[in-house]
Amino acid sequence: AQKVTQAQTEISVVEKEDVTLDCVYETRDTTYYLFWYKQPPSGELVFLIRRNSFDEQNEISGRYSWNFQKSTSSFNFTITASQVVDSAVYFCALSEGAGANNLFFGTGTRLTVIP
Amino acid sequence: EAEVAQSPRYKITEKSQAVAFWCDPISGHATLYWYRQILGQGPELLVQFQDESVVDDSQLPKDRFSAERLKGVDSTLKIQPAELGDSAMYLCASSTHRGVETQYFGPGTRLLVL
């Protein structure tokens, strides 16, 4: 079974619009970590955020914000006032347990911001 | 800012040939990972090193793939012989130590097998 589901394959928005990328995860562990990475056309995965299962506080970093809800097993990512430079593939990932470090990635959401 | 280095960035080869990829992790990072990313999918772990030791290679196709990190610093991933289905992006990542530390990725090597 897929541990991380990103149901949105592709999203297109017009510049300055807000956009939310969905991530639903599945795990039986009580300790786990969630991540978001950005992959621009150059191919490198850029780390955006890490959140552990005991910290449900939402986080804001500039135009980026993350909403972690354990009740729905979701870790959604919102970009406010999108810009063309935000165009990329975004991956949500899960790491289970306190000692393991294998990342299970979703299939990614391709975001296109139209000028 | 320290980065993970990978080379080559692009590689085109014919099936049945041997290919090798190199990765130099961020200085001081004890844990190194190789991932394979097929077009349109998320990366999948091939092998994980802690210093020079392999800690997880359960998803590595050992009949044709090999990986080493002899001195616990840089690493080489080899495919011999390459098959058409090996066409993918090969990503290297590193983190400070085993445990749930953030993994930082290199630019990847795009492999095309003809």
CA dist A90 and A105 (Å) reads: 10
Q: Band of the pLDDT at B100, cuts 50, 70, 90?
A: low
User: CB–CB of B4/B91 below 8 Å?
Assistant: no
Q: Band of the pLDDT at A59, cuts 50, 70, 90?
A: confident
Query: Does B94 reach chain A within 8 Å, measured CB to CB?
Result: no
Contact call for A95 and B42, based on CB within 8 A:
no
Return the minimum-mean-pLDDT range out of A43-47, A55-59, B62-66, B106-110: A55-59
Q: Which residue of B has its CA nearest to A4?
A: B42
What pLDDT, on the 0 to 100 scale, is given for residue A5?
96
CA A64 to chain centre: 11
Nearest CB among A43, A50, A108 relative to B42 is that of A108
pLDDT tens for B42-56 read 999 999 999 999 989
Rounded to a whole number, what is the distance in Å from the CA of B2 to chain A's nearest CA? 13
CA dist A63 and A59 (Å) reads: 11
Using a pLDDT cut of 90, give the percent of chain B over it: 83
pLDDT tens for A95-112 read 987 655 688 999 999 999
pLDDT tens for A13-57 read 999 999 999 999 999 988 899 999 999 988 899 999 999 898 888
Task: Give mean pLDDT, residues A75-103.
Answer: 90
What pLDDT, on the 0 to 100 scale, is given for residue A13?
97
User: CB–CB of B1/B69 below 8 Å?
Assistant: no
Q: Band of the pLDDT at B61, cuts 50, 70, 90?
A: very high
Contact call for B100 and A107, based on CB within 8 A:
no
User: CB–CB of B90/B77 below 8 Å?
Assistant: yes
Query: Does B60 reach chain A within 8 Å, measured CB to CB?
Result: no
